[in-house]
Amino acid sequence: MPRFAQLFKDTSPPLVWSDGWQGGSSEADPALDKYAQATYTVTQTKGANMTFRFNGTFVGVYGAKRPGHGAYEIQVDNHVYPTFNGSSSVALFNQTLFNATLDDGFHTITLTNADTTTLDVDYVYFEGNVGKKNEPLIPSTFQDNDPEFTYFPASSWKQSPRPGTFSGSTGTITSDPSASLEYKFKVKFLSALQCGDLILLYGTVTPASTSSYLVSIDGAPFSAFSARKASVRPHQVLYYASNLGRGVHKLKLKFAGTNGTTGDFAVDFANLYSAPSLGAHEA
């Protein structure tokens, strides 16, 4: 099968954080630039956790091991691993906190701080399969102004006044908590109308972004995510789904609209991945 691999920075909303975490800052940590893209998410709260759900065969969690760091726990699906130790007498960055090869399928990984010592996360990396063995992985990118994006109501969405920060110099934004969008996974290769098996929806996260948006695909229950992060980061994965199979798929996105969750929301582009066995054709 063609292999799909993706790195999620700590600022990517598919990484879901409990209370007790915060973004690293240069004021508090002069070693901030030792982390990928100069960001990390950190806690000193016992029981604080990060959860990531994915379809795949491999997952790794990466961060630092430094003085003052301590014990943490990992659970993958129903399996709880022995407690790990993130302490080091010298600061070590880009360290493997955990990795595992898994059976192909849907998995949930949870990282939990086991004490009141420091635990930080730099990024999560995972791999999965699309299609059948010995066939190519076919990617395609669609900008936020593609006609398959539908924004409701249209008057609540506008083009970003800072287009240079977006892929293709176009980004669609809103601050209306009652706004929503839909996206149909129609992928055009030559004259054929095809569908993606895997989607990554990208946008910008900021300290002023909404802290609760909801996403559903193909009528499934809505899942909640937060785009409110400690720093401004463009080109972040806002939503990920895979193993969708043949057929036209529909993504729906809306906002929780409750007190304290409202803010800006910015859509950049969608990356779709498919394979010939799923009906895709290379251009």
Topology match between the domains 3-129 and 138-278? yes
47 touches 104 (CB < 8 A): no
**Residue 189 CB neighbour total at 10 angstroms:** 15
Cα(17)–Cα(229) distance, rounded to whole angstroms?
11
pLDDT digits (tens, 9 = 90+) for 161-194: 989 999 999 999 999 999 999 999 754 443 344 4
Question: What pLDDT score was predicted for residue 231?
Answer: 92
Question: What pLDDT score was predicted for residue 137?
Answer: 87
Question: What pLDDT score was predicted for residue 188?
Answer: 44
Q: Is 37 left (phi over 0), alpha (psi -120 to 50) or beta?
A: left
pLDDT digits (tens, 9 = 90+) for 9-62: 999 999 999 999 999 999 999 999 999 999 999 999 999 999 999 999 999 999
Cα(96)–Cα(88) distance, rounded to whole angstroms?
13
Residue by residue, DSSP assigns 11-41 as: T-TTSEE-TTEEE--TTT-TTGGGSGGG--E
Residue with tokens 């990118």: 141
131-135 LR contacts (CB < 8 Å, sep 24+): 131/1, 131/2, 131/197, 131/274, 131/275, 131/276, 131/277, 131/278, 132/1, 132/275, 132/277, 133/1, 135/1, 135/2, 135/275, 135/276, 135/277
Evaluate whether the domain defined by 138-278 bears CATH number 2.60.120.260: yes
pLDDT digits (tens, 9 = 90+) for 134-158: 788 889 999 999 999 999 999 999 9
Please list, in sequence order, all residues whose beta carbon lies within 8 angstroms of the beta carbon of residue 81, skipping any fewer than 6 positions away: 73, 74, 75, 98
Domain boundaries, given as residue ranges, for the chain? 3-129, 138-278
pLDDT top residue among 245 and 228:
228
pLDDT digits (tens, 9 = 90+) for 58-81: 999 999 999 999 999 999 999 999
pLDDT digits (tens, 9 = 90+) for 233-283: 999 999 999 988 878 899 999 998 766 678 999 999 999 998 887 766 555
Question: What pLDDT score was predicted for residue 130?
Answer: 85
Torsion of CA 20, 263, 63, 24, to 10 degrees: -70
Q: What number is the average pLDDT over the span 196-219? A: 94
Mean pLDDT (the chain) is: 92
* Fold type of domain 3-129: Jelly Rolls (2.60.120)
Question: What pLDDT score was predicted for residue 1?
Answer: 62
Residue by residue, DSSP assigns 158-191 as: EE-S-GGGSGGG--EEE--TT-EEEEE-EEEETT
* Lowest-confidence segment of 54-63, 85-94, 114-123, 177-186 by average pLDDT: 177-186
Q: What number is the average pLDDT over the span 200-221? A: 96
